[in-house]
A = this chain, B = another copy of it.
Amino acid sequence: MAELTKSQIKRRALVKATIELVNNSGFHAAPMSKIAKIANVSPATIYLYFENKQDLVNKVYIEVKASFTEYAFATYDPNMEVAEGFEVIWKRIADFKLKECEEAMFLAQCDNTPMIDEQSREEGIKHLQPLLDLWERGKKEGKIKPLSDYILYAYAINPLSFLMITQKRGRFQLNEDHLEEAYQSAWSSIKI
């Protein structure tokens, strides 16, 4: 683990506090004063790190999205077979959504509301490129259905968000079996 400067520690505490508060209360009930309190920092200090509240949320979104995709592709290698590549990516994404539940919840909220700028949203999408490339190759090799990327995403990846939120709300418990079933559903919805 790299050494963290005091500045980095403060900034991280702010990011974490923002995620926590927005998850539990929503943007509308996440005042700067509370974010500061949870991060053990003065409200004024936030403005040393971020321009304003909108900038804070945008940056948190972009950083969490980046950390999400970094995790998703960490064990993936573009030379893998299409099927293996997809399985590796899918399972890492599932992993992230279950282990880094707070961050995943935050992303889900951002992705379904006008909370963040359209520009930050665009920025976040870019990071998915390796998955889109894999699908492109899969289509060329006749292994993946020739569907729009959005439809592939809707059926192969996005359901995990719904399951994660449902689990977080305590409506049901996702276990290993469920996950394997979900993976089979995901793969069979896109494979030829």
**Which residues does chain B contribute within 8 Å of A23, judged by CB atoms?**
114
Count, chain A residues at interface, CB 8 A: 42
Number of copies: 2
What is the CA–CA distance of A158 and B158 in the complex, to the nearest angstrom?
A: 8
- Given known contacts A112-B108, A189-B185, A171 and B150 CB-to-CB distance under 8 angstroms: yes
Which residues A127-165 have CB closer than 8 A to chain B? 145, 147-148, 150-151, 153-155, 158-160, 162-163, 165
Contact of A113 among B113, B118, B121, B147 (CB under 8 A): B113
Does A6 belong to the interface (CB within 8 Å)?
Answer: no
Shortest CB-to-CB span from A28 to chain B, Å, is: 3
Shortest CB-to-CB span from A116 to chain B, Å, is: 10
Q: Name A147's closest neighbour in chain B (CB-CB).
A: B181
B26 x A151 contact (CB < 8 A): no
Does A47 belong to the interface (CB within 8 Å)?
Answer: no
- Given known contacts A112-B165, A113-B26, A113-B112, A172 and B148 CB-to-CB distance under 8 angstroms: yes
What is the CA–CA distance of A189 and B33 in the complex, to the nearest angstrom?
A: 46
Contact sample, A vs B, 24 pairs, CB 8 Å cutoff: A24-B114, A26-B27, A26-B113, A29-B114, A109-B112, A111-B112, A111-B165, A113-B113, A118-B169, A148-B178, A150-B172, A151-B185, A154-B159, A154-B163, A154-B166, A154-B182, A155-B182, A158-B158, A158-B159, A158-B162, A185-B189, A188-B188, A188-B189, A189-B189
Q: List 3 tightest A-B contacts by C-beta distance, closest first.
A: A28-B28, A154-B159, A112-B112
